[in-house]
Chains A and B, each alone.
Chain A
Amino acid sequence: MAQTPSQTVGPFFAYALAPRQYGYPLPQLAGSTLCGETAAGERIWLAGRVFDGAGAPIDDALIELWQADAEGRYRAAPGAPGDNARDPDFTGFGRCGTGTDPQQRFAFRTVKPGAPDAASAPHLSLVVFMRGLLSHLYTRVYFDDEAAANARDAVLAQVPADRRDTLIARRAASPEGPVYRFDIHMQGDRETVFFDV
């Protein structure tokens, strides 16, 4: 059987996919905070903007984040094998739109992930949706303070050296704690590497 084609998420997804963030009184299944009070690991922010080919920030993108917990474990289905190993106060999944911040930023509150296996550096998986994007895109966020792990990451090794930088988030201090900054460029000299995974 052949795959159902993708279509754009369009401009009006917010009340369905991120209603609380956008102020709609509708049930929200995933938001921009991935960790509860007791989740293990370092609390971090991931924040950035999404730029179009003219360099303008995009205010109707939706970013989904999927990641391992601080020990490098991905959350399995409830009751599935491996489920006991996960951090119970960490969902691993978040959504954030770029339409509520005055500067069109997305911002996730999460924990810094551990490396999931020997061939991988700690990283976050992002899925990018927006009006004008007919099929969602996959990319990864690596951390600039994990240089040794990044150097042995099997996926980063397949990225042309002159484009690897588009996948590296920069750590900065802020009053709310450490922030990793990660902008996404849809086109241009700094076009983000997107994966066909």
Chain B
Amino acid sequence: MPDDAFAPRDWDSHPPLIAPDYKSTRLRGPTQPLLRVGQGPGERSGPRFDAGQLDPLQADLTRNGRVNGEPLGERIVLTGRVVDERGHPVPGTLVEIWQANAAGRYVHTGDRHDAPLDPNFTGAGHAVTDGDGRYTFRSVKPGAYPWGNHHNAWRPNHIHVSVLGPALATRLVTQMYFPGDPLLEHDPIFLATPAAARPRLIAEFSLDVTEPGIALGYVFDIVLRGGHATPGEG
């Protein structure tokens, strides 16, 4: 393994590829074990996007979809740090988010949930982490919505989060949930995650991040694979 290889995916942290209670996995998760091979230059490198290439407006989902007013819903500030397993910040990496609106409806044309669209909310945004690995979005809290997995199935409030990280090997797509959501214990996607790792998917409410009179604050730190050893570290 080259010196600049990334630590492997920790399968005690990630859900299995077939989790029968989440029905769609049954025909879509591969049945053969993943083949463990070394990382080539293509896995140790990866796409980059600089802050200068992006429109800062796209980090504010309360503004980037406005047509004739403000989006409805409970305003939130979502912030956190992207770090590696050593706790070192991952600066300058792309974080993309997407979510349902406050009524639990996605802009996606395939979403047939009978809940209103919000003409002033798209629910998509992106940002690049700063030198400390920090990202910050403004949005509204997404609503829960029903889905067809089983009778009376509802997804908990969640925001989809995509992170590139420093290399293809560190790619991560996840979902961030909200503390105290009673739907979590009924959600087969959340529950597919090993129990010990589930708390890492739940944001923390923070009064420090909360902006007085404006928006509730949530903190969601993201830990990516590996990180290179630096001289002097054991």
Binding site for B on A (CB under 8 A): 1-17, 19, 24, 26-27, 29-30, 52-54, 58, 60, 64, 66-68, 74-78, 91-93, 99, 116-117, 119-120, 123, 125, 127, 129-138, 154-155, 158-159, 163, 186-187, 191-197
Residue contact B15 to A15, C-beta cutoff 8 Å: no
Nearest-neighbour CB distance to chain A for B198, whole angstroms, equals 8
- Which chain A residues border B173 with CB–CB below 8 Å? 6-9, 129, 136
**Which A residues are in CB contact (< 8 Å) with B206?**
none
| Residue among A137, A138, A158 facing the most chain B CB atoms (10 A cut-off) | A138
- Residue of A15, A78, A119 touching B50 (CB-CB under 8 A): A78
* Chain A residues whose CB sits within 8 angstroms of the CB of B198 once the complex forms: 5
- B192 contacts chain A at the CB level, 8 A cutoff: yes
| Cβ–Cβ contact B172 & A4, under 8 A | yes
A2 touches B42 (CB 8 A): no
Which residue from A5, A30, A155, A197 sits with its C-beta under 8 Å from B201? A5
A52 close to B27 (CB less than 8 A): yes
What would be 7 A-B contacts, judged by CB atoms less than 8 Å apart? Answer: A16-B160, A53-B28, A134-B19, A158-B35, A193-B35, A196-B8, A196-B36
Which of B71-79, B132-140, B222-230 faces chain A?
B222-230
Interface SS of B by simple majority:
loop
Q: Are the CB atoms of A134 and B16 closer together than 8 Å?
A: yes
Verify B49–A3 contact, CB threshold 8 A: no
Q: A24-B107, A192-B30 are in contact. Are A116 and B16 (CB under 8 A)?
A: no
A-binding segment of B81-89, B178-186, B208-216: B81-89
Residues of B within 8 A of A195 (CB): 34-37
A5 x B194 contact (CB < 8 A): yes
* A16-B96, A196-B34 known; A3-B13 Cβ under 8 A: yes
- A7, B200: Cα distance in complex, Å: 12
Count B-side interface residues using an 8 Å CB cutoff: 83
A14 CB contacts on chain B under 8 angstroms: 108
Is B25 within 8 A of A5, CB to CB? no
Q: Which residue of A lies closest to B41 (CB)?
A: A116
Task: Please provide the 3 A-B residue pairs with the shortest distance between their CB atoms, ordered closest to farther.
Answer: A132-B24, A16-B98, A93-B47
A143 vs chain B, min Cβ distance (A): 15
Chain B residues in 8 Å Cβ range of A67: 42
Whether A12 lies near B193 (C-beta < 8 A) is: no
B111 located at the interface, meaning its Cβ lies under 8 Å from any Cβ of chain A in the complex? yes
Tell me whether B25 and A134 are in contact (CB under 8 A): yes
Q: Please, how many angstroms separate the alpha-carbon atoms of A56 and B171 in the complex?
A: 27
Interface residues in B134-154 (C-beta closer than 8 Å to A): none
0/1 per residue, B184-200, Cβ < 8 Å to A? 00000110111001101
Q: Identify A154's interface contact among B38, B172, B189, CB under 8 A.
A: B38
Q: In the assembled complex, which residues on chain A have CB atoms less than 8 Å from the CB atom of B50?
A: 77-78
Min C-beta distance of A30 to chain B, whole Å: 7
- Contact indicator A132/B48 (Cβ below 8 Å): no
Chain B residues with CB under 8 Å of A138's CB are 43, 168
Measured CA separation A69–B54 after assembly (Å): 24
- Interface hub of B15, B45, B193 (most chain A Cβ within 10 A): B45
Cβ–Cβ < 8 Å partners of A133 in chain B? 17, 25, 28-29
Is B102 an interface residue, CB under 8 A from the partner?
A: no
Task: Report which of A12, A29, A155 forms a contact with B49, defined as CB distance below 8 A.
Answer: A29
CB pair B47 A2 closer than 8 Å: no
- A13 and B189 contact, CB distance less than 8 A: no
